Structure 1
């Protein structure tokens, strides 16, 4: 469930296996990959990566350009801001963008690419930190949501960690205020508040302990040979397909097109970017942020077979958030927005209902106070 971590696993594995060579890829094409891709694929015609919104460039605190897209009316009563995970892009939210844009009340949807990912600018290595991505999210909110206006935050994997960093450094956003956007709800998907060093990637504990210390050094070495490694990753696409399916998904009937789509996003992320963020994800510890997030309604979603951010991490987050809804899909991996999109969209819609009820009660209370003050 710990979102950032799983990306680490997938991205590192794809990078490493992609460098294994073309011979293995050719063999796999005729075996596992070929068989999987011949299965019925109901999502084959889904326009992945083609849904776009109104583009906006937001300048981060260090001057980096962040790519943002807005879908929905400017006068919408509520804005939802989506933050994607490590080694992915805003297109991770394809199904949610497709289905929530027509929700009752027509909320305004905001999607953005994290620094060094997707269409956003390339960051310097020293700024590849969770605190910085939280600050980036703050810049996106200030640029897209009016002061005092309500906003719901949705984060997957490292995107959930960015929300935690935002909450820790800007707790005022989670209070009634007219000076800044007002966070009224949070959805955390396949993410973690820390202790990612305990992750085993589904390996036996003894083996995981042996391999874990090797990962940072291996990725740093690959990062120093970024041009070569990225070319080889492209040649090993079929191997990457198998690794991605194994590491990111648990449903054996997941659409091959969905697997391809995820693998392409990972492969498009430069290996040096993957190497730069990896140590920060391992060291991530934002448990202190949960007290602030607990001030607003929340939903936490996890995959029971998540090899990168195990469901225990989601459970611990939900336990720390008073009244939070917890959803765990037993036969799901680390990419719930793509593997079980209806579960994620449904969770967000229920959160919006709770937020709407709370806003109605708040407005009724304010009107009552105003009447009392006028009659006094």
Structure 2
């Protein structure tokens, strides 16, 4: 197909300014980034996906080139932001929602709060269970440390968890790109999102009710949301498909972009919502 040119949009919704990148045409594919990142985590898959879809890649509230800082940003607020953003872009038809990690937490809320928006759901390297009390407390501590010290120590702490051993050993360019992306985020956004993730609900009871076509993707070396855990919650969603991406950890669009894009496009084709 003839692909439309890439466009960068700055949208003011209420008092908040959002950045969003769009490219391609066809069934809208909404790419929602993880923590503490921005739309650039999709850079390696966006060209492949936009050959078949109108790809919409926003910066969430406070991240990248978006503002709208809060003390706490619940996942529900981020889902509502995306609903308003789609309105501002004039996207009236249902979208394929594709979220990674924190983006996946937002995906559950999109289904709960704005399910008319969803034509399909793609969850990458994420969880259905809520934080334990210990995990939630740790997020609160991390939020305070980030506000006090900034982002300078965050890559060193996070990269060994975010990236698979294969990537850490053989793809230094991925580590460098991910580190640079983390370092340019605003500490206020990181702290607010940590607090929001700490209070997110356990959605495991929702899974049997999800009726839209669903794909669950997981890196074979993901230590944060391991394949066994993700396969288990995928099995609770009626008709959901589970695919393991080899040689990748938690950041599959950056670690193995070709396999990630291929899995997404094949899923969309199989369920009959790919438009070329």
TM range (shorter): 0.7 to 0.9
Change in 2 beyond 3 A, CA 1:217/1:167: closer
- 1:248 and 1:335 in contact (8 A); partners too: yes
Aligned to 2:58: 112
Task: For structure 1, list consecutive stretches of 5 or more residues without a partner in the other structure.
Answer: 1-51, 174-182, 199-208, 360-376
Aligned to 1:157: 101
Aligned to 2:217: 301
Question: Deviation of residue 129 (structure 1)?
Answer: 1.0
Aligned to 1:247: 161
Aligned to 1:194: 129
Aligned length: 268
Change in 2 beyond 3 A, CA 1:143/1:244: same
- Whole-Å Cα distance in 2 between the matches of residues 287 and 145 of structure 1? 32
- 2:27 and 2:273 in contact (8 A); partners too: no
- Whole-Å Cα distance in 2 between the matches of residues 145 and 289 of structure 1? 29
1:85 paired to 2:34: yes
Deviations 1:271-319, CA, capped at 9 Å, x for gaps: 3332222132133223355355x32222101123322223343223311
Over alpha carbons, which structure has the higher Rg? Answer: 1
Change in 2 beyond 3 A, CA 1:276/1:187: same
CA RMSD in angstroms comes to: 2.7
- Whole-Å Cα distance in 2 between the matches of residues 253 and 83 of structure 1? 27
- 1:83 and 1:154 in contact (8 A); partners too: yes
| TM-score normalised to structure 2 length | 0.85
- Whole-Å Cα distance in 2 between the matches of residues 116 and 357 of structure 1? 32
Q: Which has the higher helix share?
A: 1
1:129 alignment partner, one of 71, 74, 95 = 74
Match of 1:67, SS? strand
- 2:69 and 2:188 in contact (8 A); partners too: no
1:55 paired to 2:1: no
Match of 2:272, SS? helix
- 1:130 and 1:284 in contact (8 A); partners too: yes
- Whole-Å Cα distance in 1 between the matches of residues 163 and 235 of structure 2? 25
Mapping for residues 240-279 of structure 1, pairs under 5 Å? 240=155, 243-250=157-164, 251=166, 252-279=168-195
- 1:67 and 1:113 in contact (8 A); partners too: yes
Mapping for residues 206-221 of structure 1, pairs under 5 Å? 212=135, 215-221=138-144
- Whole-Å Cα distance in 1 between the matches of residues 136 and 200 of structure 2? 16
Aligned to 1:177: none
- 1:216 and 1:279 in contact (8 A); partners too: yes
Task: For structure 2, list consecutive stretches of 5 or more residues without a partner in the other structure.
Answer: none
Match of 2:243, SS? strand
- 2:11 and 2:88 in contact (8 A); partners too: yes
Greater Cα shift, 337-346 or 216-225: 216-225
Change in 2 beyond 3 A, CA 1:139/1:287: farther
- 2:223 and 2:250 in contact (8 A); partners too: yes
| TM-score normalised to structure 1 length | 0.64
Mapping for residues 1-376 of structure 1, pairs under 5 Å? 53-60=6-13, 63-72=15-24, 76-102=25-51, 106-126=52-72, 128-147=73-92, 149-173=93-117, 183-197=118-132, 212=135, 215-225=138-148, 229-230=149-150, 233=152, 240=155, 243-250=157-164, 251=166, 252-285=168-201, 286-291=203-208, 294-329=210-245, 331-356=247-272
Deviations 1:158-212, CA, capped at 9 Å, x for gaps: 1111121111112333xxxxxxxxx2222110011223328xxxxxxxxxx6xx5
Higher relative contact order (CA 8 A, sep 6+): 1
- Whole-Å Cα distance in 1 between the matches of residues 17 and 173 of structure 2? 31
Question: Deviation of residue 339 (structure 1)?
Answer: 1.0
- Whole-Å Cα distance in 2 between the matches of residues 246 and 358 of structure 1? 36
Runs of 4+ in 1 over 4 A off after TM superposition: none
